[in-house]
Chains A and B, each alone.
Chain A
Amino acid sequence: MIRSRAARLPVIVSVLAILAVWLAASPHSSGQTAQRTVASDDSRENGLAAWDQVYSVLTHPRCINCHTATSYPQQGDDRHRHFANVVRGPDGHGVPGLNCATCHQEANANSTGVPGSHNWHLAPLSMAWQDRNDRPLSSAQLCRVLTDRSKNHDMDGPALLKHHAEDKLVGWAWEPGRDITGAQRTLPPLSRPEFAEATRQWVEAGTPCPSGR
């Protein structure tokens, strides 16, 4: 019996040693957890910083004028109601006789000052980035709307990145042409590559949203 216990001792020691090594390497060890928390915090902070950049573009008139919460689009840097009694219509393309395409063609009409791009239309009401008084949503509110897949055509992070980086109508914001006075329309605060990169950083951080209202 004694010989038997003595024979087991090296086995027990070995098992304990392996366990100790495993615990030390385990992410559940306190040191690793702290490191991961720091890394996670850093990632969230970086993601939120990237979101601030994204938000600055989304709330620029070239973008938000077509993300209204009302029955009409807006226009101009002062975001006034679209002239000529233009209305949203059932699918965001206006109404028969007064569609978006009644004026907006496949490209900008610089000789007459009318902007245009492929499939010109309003974003659906579920993607409104303003309140019903035409005030942009707060950063936290807009982030929640943008990432709500029940409201955003079921776009996950990569799909949002693709939309921001590649969609042709989104891209019009950086090629908005000239207005009726011949003046160049203003551009969003970031270039499109910068906007796409900020979106990528935000997506890779898990699309974090600011807390609060």
Chain B
Amino acid sequence: MDTYQLTVNGQQRSVTVDPGTPLLWVLREELKMTGTKYGCGVAACGACTVHVAGVATRSCIVPVSLIGDRPIVTIEAIGDDRVGKAVQDAWVAHDVVQCGYCQSGQIMSAVALLKDNSKPSDHNIEESMGGNLCRCGTYPRIREAIKAAAQQLK
């Protein structure tokens, strides 16, 4: 067991865990931040996506020992960000969510896309969101919500 000092949503947090522990389980089990979801555990579905130093990151496969001093942002705080707020508002306005399990990961990826590309094409959206799976098939509404958020951010 080692102790790690993490910056999560702007706050310093200390955790003592095995170095190989995935960030997801540090967030959920140690810090009790359960907005980030466990889906597949092998980075195949995107439900566990958080931002590490601004990069959308699959927290289920990144050991806490490799985080270093990079800041972490989770779904709990993404609404504090201008782009994050626009995406969440668009999600509500377009009634994107069905069961909702994958949606925190979907939103984190969508925010990463819009921070890099303020006017994504359908192709851009398909490529960037292609690693986020939704068993409810909300993809058309996700696409529309991303476009609406981009429009709102102009």
**Which A97-131 residues sit within 8 Å CB-CB of chain B?**
97-99, 101-103, 105-107, 109-114, 116
Cβ A97 vs Cβ B109 within 8 A: yes
The answer to the question of B63 belonging to the interface, with a C-beta cut-off of 8 Å to chain A, is: yes
The answer to the question of B55 belonging to the interface, with a C-beta cut-off of 8 Å to chain A, is: yes
Instruction: Chain B residues near A113: list those with CB within 8 A.
Output: 42, 61
The answer to the question of B129 belonging to the interface, with a C-beta cut-off of 8 Å to chain A, is: yes
Q: Which of A83-91, A148-156, A198-206 contacts B (4 or more CB under 8 A)?
A: A83-91
Instruction: Chain B residues near A105: list those with CB within 8 A.
Output: 62, 66
Cβ B56 vs Cβ A111 within 8 A: no
A99 to chain B, nearest CB (A): 6
Interface readout for B52-95 with A: 1 if CB under 8 Å, 0 if not?
A: 00011110111100100000000000000000000000000000
For B109, give its contact among A98, A111, A116 (CB under 8 Å).
A98
Q: Which of B8-16, B26-34, B111-119 contacts A (4 or more CB under 8 A)?
A: B111-119
The answer to the question of B145 belonging to the interface, with a C-beta cut-off of 8 Å to chain A, is: no
Cα(A103)–Cα(B66), bound, Å: 11
Instruction: Chain A residues near B131: list those with CB within 8 A.
Output: 84-86, 97-98, 102
A100 to chain B, nearest CB (A): 10
Interface readout for B33-46 with A: 1 if CB under 8 Å, 0 if not?
A: 00000000011101
Instruction: Chain B residues near A101: list those with CB within 8 A.
Output: 55, 57
The answer to the question of B130 belonging to the interface, with a C-beta cut-off of 8 Å to chain A, is: yes
The answer to the question of B128 belonging to the interface, with a C-beta cut-off of 8 Å to chain A, is: yes
Given A84-B44, A96-B115, A96-B128, does the pair A103, B61 have CB atoms closer than 8 Å?
Answer: yes
The answer to the question of B124 belonging to the interface, with a C-beta cut-off of 8 Å to chain A, is: yes
| Chain B minimum-CB-distance residue to A111 | B20
For B62, give its contact among A83, A85, A98, A103 (CB under 8 Å).
A103
B23 to chain A, nearest CB (A): 10
**Which A162-183 residues sit within 8 Å CB-CB of chain B?**
180
Cβ A85 vs Cβ B130 within 8 A: yes
Known pairs A95-B124, A109-B66, A110-B20; list 5 more (Cβ under 8 Å): A85-B130, A85-B131, A86-B131, A98-B109, A98-B128
Pick the 9 closest A-B CB pairs, nearest first. A111-B20, A85-B130, A96-B116, A97-B128, A97-B109, A112-B61, A97-B112, A105-B66, A97-B113
Q: What are some 18 contacts across the A-B interface (CB < 8 A)? A: A83-B44, A85-B127, A87-B130, A89-B127, A96-B117, A97-B113, A98-B109, A98-B128, A98-B129, A99-B55, A102-B43, A102-B57, A102-B58, A109-B63, A111-B20, A111-B63, A112-B63, A116-B66
